[in-house]
Structure 1
């Protein structure tokens, strides 16, 4: 077998092996261990104090609520152009939210995506903001999860129209809570305490995000993180749902907890594939981030507890925090990050190759904004990537073309060396050195494609901008597998393709995977098949193995691969001809089909 074919086999097999290794051995990074306790700076208007375990426990000693209490509590509507829902006056909890712009499926009658649910419903998830009683303060003197608030101002929460809730403990402390929402997915909660008593009170502001059980629509796909996301002073961490029950049991909190002291900037919350709910204390201030699992009630919680503040008689204090609940749109998260939410763009699961996934997504996003079609944007992105890699591709193909012109000399060396393999290798190396040919040069561009392939796969799979992004015809969701197959006559018949990953899906392959296999097969035919029967068999099966393997991948990724193969084929063909090597494409195809190929003209 000539070295040109050997390089192609090595590079392709290596690509295949790396893909398998990636899918089997590389789960998302584990959550980092909590840092040691630190002393928090003195908050404005209060005394210096680190939020102790007592305060963290007191803040959420119980989020349990009687269903009838929620049923009977009044609600305040939430309505903007992007969200629809309500908050309950029981605890002042934000617990009902739908995303108007997003539907669960592409069907016309599909329901709107819901991300927050009241505690008396299945799949409950809600946010609570309040004050924890510090040492010496009666816990009943502060509002809790079951406190019924009074609506003091506003009737519908909307953009530019906040609502204010109020509760008086009857003992000299009056609590108020102003809740505002912007034109996207961010709530701003400003909590105040006014002390009209004759004694000083110490309280700590907190925020809790609680959910009942693990989300039922969990993807459980290793390339995607679902569970806790947190940022603590520049350190980003992830914790999977399944790992929370393994936290160390905290006797005071009555649950399994993991705590981390944040000195300045951070946030903590829950994420799934496309949606996220995150607690964001005022940036630039200290707080304790707590992840908690209560196995008695199967409750998962994240908490942000701020330092204790004291409010003197006749004085008042306040605390402002934010709560994000919505879609992980890149532009929206970037806007919040620029407005002060520290590293908020990292809430998107960029993966290990973030140095590639971030710029690749940025470029793809910009192309889509200009073109207006994500599929064409992917093809244009492929052209740009190939343009950047062209110098390497040129050197590689020039080397391959020279290898082809050296074929007669290599055959002569084989005849002279006979069975002496060492002599043959020495002669080949001398020939390569004399002709300035690098036999391994053909592998480099293919190897460079591997991290790009993984990064683009990550981008297509995790970013919401690809969700339900149309291309043309039957391809209306580039984040999903090809919806066409022989089973539905490539989308012409009125039923869907077999479910991805099923045996039927392997048998009834779609249009895009078929095009992928053909493009890879044609690229292969630029060179004659190797003479060794085993190598011939490997070459013959390789395009079709990749076709079936990638058939269940996101169709956007297959579009990229087809475009990449097509551009690579064109580059290689033109460069080889410019170097005097004339690929006999038709002859090689006939040869692979069992017909005798014509001899190449002598150089």
Structure 2
């Protein structure tokens, strides 16, 4: 039984450790390049043009680019351009995003390239998933006339002989959201256009060099094309888009995703008609384009007006901000699905909520993580204490276990039966030692998944100059080394039974394994494990010196073991000397005494909390005396 408990402990620890590493190295995500046409992802083909194309042209030559800038201190800076009436810059206005690099500013979510941005409109045409040449085009160089309506609203108008178009942008700065409503009134005869679909385009930039050099996507300039449909998010990187464009039907939102940032464009869907998405690679420098394609319009007489709406979230993956953006959309855009807590989301969401509360109180994310650790430790204290008492009991039974192992080394079945009887007799559960790992590992995994996607922690420091970003590993490896040493010390304090190989693994192998993994963990997770290890070590010290229950239990077990060993060493004499060990004779066969120890009752007796009826007997004979039971004098038979 002891061997089974040890193996179960090792198996659980290793399995959960492998699960943690697997979630770290291979986070749950879908790669669109593996999808087939039947599963909803197809390579886009373009059919040859079959009709003349009507190009929307301005009445006057193109003028100088006019820009409208809306600033929201501490949140964002939005820049709109008259070229295409589009959003051309969206920069997060925070100190942690202001570091520059060689390509574009950190915090700038849109590409710093001419002709790129978001919310360009155009017509397109599809047939059975094949993209065709449309019969009307909106060149991106068209001049739109912009007007700042209010501090949160911008209006752009385009008036040509062919169409009259209007875009209204409404910004919700606290939610990092922007809503665009576009209305297009076609002036050409209705029979000129057939099956035309309105497309809204957005661009993103991926640093090819950083990606090829093995970058961990910790910079805001690195993005993957993303699509949310059904209940899953599918990703395609730039290299796969460069090989062939991709098409996805029935989308909820489309855009680009980064581990801690998001550009998601969600179309307002009316009725049962599906909205599609096309993704492209533009050129060879890492620019990607996504077209959100609305259902086709037949343009019958009297139905030449188009009105569509797109709500976008452009910001960090802050769960609170994502929820605010969804609320502002007045429909379900599905932005919160990007905060992936993994298999343990039921744990991760409350942990994030508590972390936000602690941060609001102390103003430092590292200290907030430490306070969260204190709370989690307090919540699991009862079960951890029970587990440690069980482990101390097993350590106290180790001498008796060695005797059984030596006695029944040729009979494993009998050894298991005797071991089980010994544990049952002393009310010791060997599996209880697994409780701390069983309870802590899901929390570690949930916290890792939270730290891997929660935008609140992105670029947030613990101690400036040392840990400047809690979502990345410690650059100086100081915290992992301290953690490794602390785990070794804590492991030495933990009672361990079993053979020497198991002891060495639990005392050296497990700390070494977790210590090495900590070199690759986010600093926030390493800080959590370190704080938890220190608290566990302090708990062990308290248990070893001041816990009356465990001290009384171990002392009683040792006394009973010594008494049983002494009784077994004495020869059996007249008068039932076996009674010295608390045995009784039946049919001439001695019955070995079995000391029964109730851990809780014994400790309660020593601490004065137990009733007399709860105090266990030291022997099976029913007497609390250490001497032999009294013998009845025999009566002499009278002779008649």
TM-score, normalising length from structure 1? Answer: 0.72
List per-residue Cα deviations over 1:46-100 (Å, max 9, x = no partner): xxxxxx9989x99xx9xxxxxxx99964433343333225333232232223211
Cα distance between partner residues in 1 of 2:494 and 2:552: 10
Residues 1:446 and 2:440 aligned together = no
Cα distance per residue 1:427-455 (max 9 Å; x no partner) = 11221222232212211330332222122
Select the structure with the greater relative contact order (CA < 8 A; seq sep ≥ 6): 1
Offset of 1:268 from its aligned partner?
Answer: 0.9
Any idea what the Cα deviations from partners look like across 1:22-43, whole Å, max 9, x if unmatched? 45666534459589899xxxxx
Which residue matches 2:224?
Answer: 227
Gap regions ≥5 residues in structure 1: 39-51, 62-68, 248-254, 484-496, 498-508, 585-602
Question: What is the CA–CA distance in structure 1 between the aligned matches of 2:259 and 2:62, rounded to whole Å?
Answer: 29
* Aligned match of 1:275: 261
Deviations 1:105-126 (A, max 9, x none): 7799x95521212544xxx852
Q: Does 1:208 align with 2:201?
A: yes
> Does the 8 A contact of 1:404 with 1:581 survive in 2?
no
CA offset digits 1:135-161 (Å, max 9, x no partner):
9xx98985524341231533xx87334
> What is the aligned partner in structure 2 of residue 288 from structure 1?
275
Please give the alpha-carbon distance, in whole angstroms, between the structure 1 residues aligned to 2:62 and 2:432: 69
Whether the aligned pair in 1 keeps the contact of 2:85 and 2:144 (CA below 8 Å) is no
Please report how far the alpha carbon of residue 359 of structure 1 lies from its aligned counterpart in structure 2 after TM superposition. Answer: 2.8
**Per the alignment, do residues 518 and 194 of structure 1 end up closer, same or farther by CA in structure 2, a change over 3 Å counting?**
same
Q: What TM-score, normalized by structure 2, do the two folds share?
A: 0.68
Q: Distance in 2 between matches of 1:125 and 1:345?
A: 26
Q: CA deviation at 1:335?
A: 0.7
Say whether the 8 Å CA contact 1:330–1:345 is kept in structure 2. Answer: yes
Bigger mean CA offset, 317-326 vs 72-81: 72-81
Gaps of 5+ in 2: 54-60, 127-131, 555-617, 619-640
Q: 1:125 to 1:445 in 2, by over 3 A?
A: farther
For residues 97-108 of structure 1, the aligned pairs below 5 Å read 97-104=90-97
5 Å matches for 1:65-144? 73-81=65-73, 82-104=75-97, 112-120=106-114, 126-132=117-123, 142=136, 144=138
User: Post-superposition shift, 1:333?
Assistant: 0.6
Q: Deviations over 1:401-448 (max 9, x none)?
A: 322332343243234335554433331122122223221221133033
* Distance of aligned partners of 1:581 and 1:11 in 2 relative to their CA distance in 1, 3 Å threshold: farther
1:463 aligns with 2:430: no
Q: Does 1:149 align with 2:143?
A: yes
How far apart are residue 20 of structure 1 and its match?
4.4
Select which of 178, 191, 194 maps to 1:187. 178
The match for 1:167 is: 159
- The structural deviation recorded for 1:162 is 1.4
How many Å separate the matches in 1 of 2:333 and 2:518? 37
Q: Report how far residue 519 of structure 1 moved.
A: 2.6
CA distance 1:522–1:514, shift in 2 (3 Å): same
Measured in 2, the distance between the counterparts of 1:283 and 1:440 equals 54
Mapped pair 1:377 → 2:345: no
Q: What does 1:514-553 align with in structure 2 at a 5 Å threshold?
A: 514-527=481-494, 534-535=501-502, 537-538=504-505, 539-540=507-508, 542-553=510-521
Aligned to 1:431: 422
1:176 maps to which of 166, 170, 173: 166
Match runs of 1:250-269 below 5 Å: 256-262=245-251, 266-269=252-255
- Tell me how far 1:582 sits from its aligned partner: 8.1
Taking the aligned partners of 1:115 and 1:396, their CA distance within structure 2 comes to: 50
In the TM superposition, what is the alpha-carbon distance from 1:345 to its structure 2 partner?
Answer: 0.8
For the residues of structure 1 that align with 2:62 and 2:516, how far apart are their CA atoms?
52
Measured at CA, do residues 27 and 243 of structure 1 come closer, stay the same or move farther in structure 2, by a change above 3 Å? farther
Quick one: structure 1 residues 390 and 204, their matched pair in 2 at CA, closer, same or farther if it must change by over 3 Å? same
Q: Secondary structure, in 3 states, of the residue corresponding to 2:250?
A: strand
- 303, 324, 337: which one pairs with 1:335? 324
SS in 1 for 2:245: strand
Q: Distance in 2 between matches of 1:318 and 1:211?
A: 25
In the alignment, the residues of structure 2 paired with residue 195 and residue 23 of structure 1 have an alpha-carbon distance, to the nearest angstrom, of 52
Q: Specify the alignment match of 2:349 in structure 1.
A: 358
| Alpha-carbon shift at residue 270 of structure 1 (Å) | 0.5
Q: Which residue of 2 aligns with 1:593?
A: none
Q: How does 1:490-569 map to 2 (within 5 A)?
A: 497=476, 509-510=477-478, 512-527=479-494, 534-535=501-502, 537-538=504-505, 539-540=507-508, 542-569=510-537
The alignment of Structure 1 onto Structure 2 pairs a total of residues equal to 517
CA contact (8 A) 2:225 2:279 kept: no
Query: Could you say if the C-alpha distance between residues 197 and 146 of structure 1 is closer, same or farther in structure 2, counting changes exceeding 3 Å?
Result: closer
Q: Per-residue deviation at 1:514? A: 3.2
Q: State the 1:560 CA deviation.
A: 0.6
**Does the 8 Å contact 2:226/2:257 carry over to 1?**
yes
Q: SS at the partner of 1:163?
A: strand
* Residues 228, 422 of structure 1: alpha-carbon distance in 2 compared, 3 angstrom cutoff: same
Q: Secondary structure at the match of 2:254?
A: strand
Distance 1:191 1:237 in 2: 27
In structure 1, the partner of 2:335 is 344
Q: 1:311–1:317: 8 Å Cα contact kept in structure 2?
A: no
1:106–1:459 CA distance, 2 compared to 1 (3 A): farther
Establish whether residue 239 from structure 1 lines up as the match of residue 235 from structure 2: yes
Equivalent position of 2:567 in the other structure = none
